[in-house]
Amino acid sequence: MNSLKQMDRGALSDALDHSGQRTTPQRETVFSVLLDERDHPTADEVYTRTKSRMPTISMATVYNCLETLVSCGLVKQVNIEREPTRYCPNLAPHAHFHCRDTGRVYDVPVPPDMMHELAEVLPGEYRADSVELVFRGHLAKGKTK
Amino acid sequence: MNSLKQMDRGALSDALDHSGQRTTPQRETVFSVLLDERDHPTADEVYTRTKSRMPTISMATVYNCLETLVSCGLVKQVNIEREPTRYCPNLAPHAHFHCRDTGRVYDVPVPPDMMHELAEVLPGEYRADSVELVFRGHLAKGKTK
DNA sequence: AATTTGACTTAGAATAATTCTAAACGATCT
DNA sequence: AGATCGTTTAGAATTATTCTAAGTCAAATT
Ligand SMILES: [Mn+2]
Ligand SMILES: [Mn+2]
Ligand SMILES: [Zn+2]
Ligand SMILES: [Zn+2]
């Protein structure tokens, strides 16, 4: 038994069904790992966390599950500089803040009007279907949040 | 003889001096390659282009030169998804547009006020020293520019 | 109920961009 | 000339990710 809430379980099987893929224990567990601690873990970190709930899972399967979750739209990949890809289940429009001191990545909500304004910097012939906004710097004080 | 204009040659040696590094023929040539065709080439593409002007240069040196140029602030790395790092000598604040069809990367000027507005989406404790903005999509019509 | 099917999982090999290592180079200084 | 020291170089090493090929499992079909 993984720790998916009924709502999330429903979203998962809907999204998987919709993209013609199956709901499996491995996919449920990986998804629950992402939902439980929203700190943008790497595949390796997801592997460690998932293994503690499902000791037989393999790294390849974790990569497969993450790819599946991304392909069905439940999870976003977050690439920052040349670091390992991180995974984010936050579907709301948001930016990321990357702390140079700790390496941690935080979600930063972006108001919808800002998204609209952003789109307007694009010349007419450019048709964007996604926008990626990453801030880098550090947190004031010892705030770890 | 590489194709650096006097202005760019000056900027290069100033920036290198300032960061305690030497002006070398390899660094000049790599820099001129970046300035001559501003299409955000990968290290491999920079290698090919540089080799045609300086046949004895090695891949390792191209990586070294690019790193040097980045470290002294004359060139920015552009990382898009998991693709090889690209290099951009445009020092003006700008965003990037990545065409899903062709894989090409274009510069998109961003007005300074937009940069300011962007900074305001950050909660107070976040101190950003850099902002990265990438659009993905495609170009309308057969425009290749 | 047995068989077939096909997606899924798995271990391990392969890939590929980048970094590292250690030796050679070369300009400058003594 | 000889010493110094940053730079260049070829090739090895690293490492996140992808690929391969074999095993698993739960329907679906017979
Ligand atoms: Mn910090
Ligand atoms: Mn296009
Ligand atoms: Zn996020
Ligand atoms: Zn650019």
Sheet of A105-109: strand order equals A105-109, A94-99, A126-139, B126-139, B94-99, B105-109
Residues of chain A with pLDDT under 50: none
Distance between terminal CA atoms of chain B?
30
Q: How far is CA B124 from CA A71, B65, B133, in A?
A: 35, 38, 20
Q: Is the pLDDT of residue B81 over 60?
A: yes
pLDDT at residue B72, rounded to an integer? 96
Report B:37-56 residues touching A (Cβ under 8 A): none
> A57 at the B interface (CB within 8 A)?
no
Q: Is the pLDDT of residue B1 over 60?
A: no
C-beta of residue A109 within 8 angstroms of C-beta of residue A92: yes
Instruction: Give the residue from A86, A98, A116, A121 with the most B CB atoms within 10 Å of its CB, the best one to mutate.
Output: A121
> Which protein residue's Cα is closest to nucleotide D19 at C1'?
A60
pLDDT at residue A21, rounded to an integer? 96
pLDDT at residue A15, rounded to an integer? 96
Query: For A117, which of B85, B117, B138 is closest by C-beta distance?
Result: B117
Q: What is the mean pLDDT of residues B3-24?
A: 94
Please report which confidence band the pLDDT of residue B42 belongs to, taking 50, 70 and 90 as the band edges: very high
Question: To the nearest whole number, what is the mean pLDDT of chain B?
Answer: 94
Q: Protein contacts on strand C: list nucleotides below 7 Å from a Cβ.
A: 7-12, 16-21
Q: Is the pLDDT of residue B98 over 70?
A: yes
The CB density around residue B140, as the number of other CB atoms within 10 Å, is 11
pLDDT at residue A57, rounded to an integer? 97
Domains and CATH numbers, chain A: 6-86 (1.10.10.10), 92-137 (3.30.1490)
Distance between terminal CA atoms of chain A?
30
Q: What is the mean pLDDT of residues B43-72?
A: 97
pLDDT at residue B3, rounded to an integer? 83
